[in-house]
Amino acid sequence: MHGLTSTASDPSAFLRTAEAELLDLAVEVSQADWVHATYITEDTQALAARANARLMESTLRWAKDSVHLPADRMSAEDHRKAKLLRLSLPLVAPSDPGASLELARTVAEMEGRFAKAQYTPLGATEPVDLQALSRILSEVRDPVRLEDAWVGWHRVGREIREPYQRYVSLANLGAKELGFPDLGAMWRSRYDMDPDAFASEVDRLWGEVQPLYESLHTYVRARLRAFYGPSRVPERGPIPAYLLGNMWAQSWEGIFPLVAPADAEPGFDLTEVLVKRGTTPQELVRYAERFFVSLGLPALPPTFWERSMFLRPRDREVVCHASAWDLDYVHDLRIKMCIEITADDFATVHHELGHNYYQRAYAGQPYLFRESAHDGFHEAVGDTISLSVTPEYLVRVGLLDEAPDASRDIGLLLYRALEKVAFLPFGLLVDRWRWDVFSGRVAPSEYNRSWWEFRRRYQGVGPPAPRGEEEFDPGAKFHVPANVPYMRYFLAHLLQFQFHRALVRAEGATGPLHRASIYGSRKAGERLEAMLAMGARNEWPDALEVITGDRRMDAQALLDYFAPLQRWLDEQNRGVPSGW
């Protein structure tokens, strides 16, 4: 034990000691991970792996010891810290050394098989990776090539199916040692609710947004049927997943050119504007910093500009995927991106700085509270800021002379719905399926059948042909073999609109939500900062109330945002079969 015996009479001392050790190890991990991500070699990979192993081992020991703390001697703060400590890892190894090692090797094996997977698509002479196959899904319009790329990538699941079954058994053993029935219940316990109550809450939220999704599905299916023909797209029933512009049909903006209304052009090209101005990567980030400063938040520290990675280096391999970092859990904030001067990266930079400002705001909290209210909050904050990157905002910062007429809004809203609304059922079902797998409601012999039942029920999509149990199509999504919970993304896609509406109203704005920006609003900044500074000290309804005035997550703000699109979709769908 980590000194539990000597601190049994003083749980606060036990937790302070745990936090001190874990903070030191977390900083070491952040530094090692940063070096590895920005200078990829076998040596930096080994250093990062060892640092992560030390942190996971220590966290696990402290978490298991905390189960034995005397509850009657613990303050409310101690109880919350102990709970967060037990829930801080998404995977808990069993105490048996042999089982623990087997679990670590099993997850590493699944991740390795996913990372190394390749396929030679039609017309190619050499195998390509997931990134290249994904480009086919989003850019190619030949259905034969699309189906081939989709089927080719999904073969990776066959190699993951067997180790995944063993992973489920071992992961459940670890969760039970912390007092949870299974790993799914442990994941759901992170949301300050009874695990079953949280599952019901998720169903309620989906029920609120489902009619909008079904309207979008109806419209998209009809347009794809018109493009690809009835032999590929049915008049009724699920849409073939390989035709939706994304390997998992989780977002559909890749098919926007096929479904866009005639007047979909926004009236400006932000990428062109930025390029013509000679905007540098650092200047792109400065726009985002000035956004937060306009809310009354402080400028980023000089070390941010000295230590961040804005460009892909010419002399070494790096991880270009955009991410926000807080290396010392106090003020060493950074972002890591291979920035390109595009409209997409302009919005991404605003999103990433949302994470940085959240990290900075809760830095004064004890270590176990230096996190968002729940994992959906962190993603939602960044996306909330991105929602304020409107034409009106671009005018205010001098990137546009005038905002386009509102008659062009349907195109903008449809594109955003293909990105945001289309994602919601997939964001829900990945964990919905895993919860049933972990609990045993779905047996290993039914893994693939149940996966497609979930996809049909929630998304209304289907495979190109029947998929048997020799396949393991969930394994074709990184988060499944890598043991990454997914519910945060579903929640974030709802919360961002709830945050956006509340912050816009704080300034007294009354126009359409999709045209509103909180840029320059000190009132919105004060409300945002107050929520960010809470970190995870309070349960999430307290944090939600600070920023929105409500204690319940709901989808009404998303429905308000897309209300003009909903009316337009109703007109387009008149007389068109709906549902699946």
Task: Point out the residues that are catalytic.
Answer: 321-322, 351-352, 355, 379, 479, 489
With the CA atoms of 548, 552, 553 and 555 taken in that order, what torsion angle do they form, in degrees rounded to the nearest 10? -90
Measured in whole angstroms, the distance separating CA 396 from the mean position of its chain's CA atoms is: 30
Residue 174 token pair: 């670890």
Per-residue 3-state assignment (H helix, E strand, C coil) for 479-507: CCCCCCCCHHHHHHHHHHHHHHHHHHHHC
Q: 206 in helix, strand or coil? A: helix
Could you tell me if 467 and 213 are in contact, meaning their C-beta atoms sit under 8 angstroms apart? no
Q: Which of 43, 37, 116, 128 is nearest to 313 (CA)?
A: 37
Residues 6+ apart with CB under 8 A from 466: none
Could you tell me if 326 and 301 are in contact, meaning their C-beta atoms sit under 8 angstroms apart? no
Which helix (H) or strand (E) segment holds residue 321: the answer is: none
Residue 446 token pair: 């039914």
Question: Alpha helices, DSSP H only, in 440-562?
Answer: 447-454, 487-506, 522-534, 540-548, 556-561
What's the N-to-C CA distance of the chain in angstroms? 55
Cα 80–Cα 81–Cα 86 angle in degrees, nearest 5:
100
Interatomic CA distance for residues 557 and 127, integer angstroms: 45
Compute the Cα dihedral for 165, 167, 168, 170 and give only its sign: positive
Compute the Cα dihedral for 510, 516, 522, 528 and give only its sign: positive
With the CA atoms of 312, 317, 321 and 323 taken in that order, what torsion angle do they form, in degrees rounded to the nearest 10? -80
Q: Which of 38, 36, 45 is nearest to 318 (CA)?
A: 38
Interatomic CA distance for residues 314 and 526, integer angstroms: 42
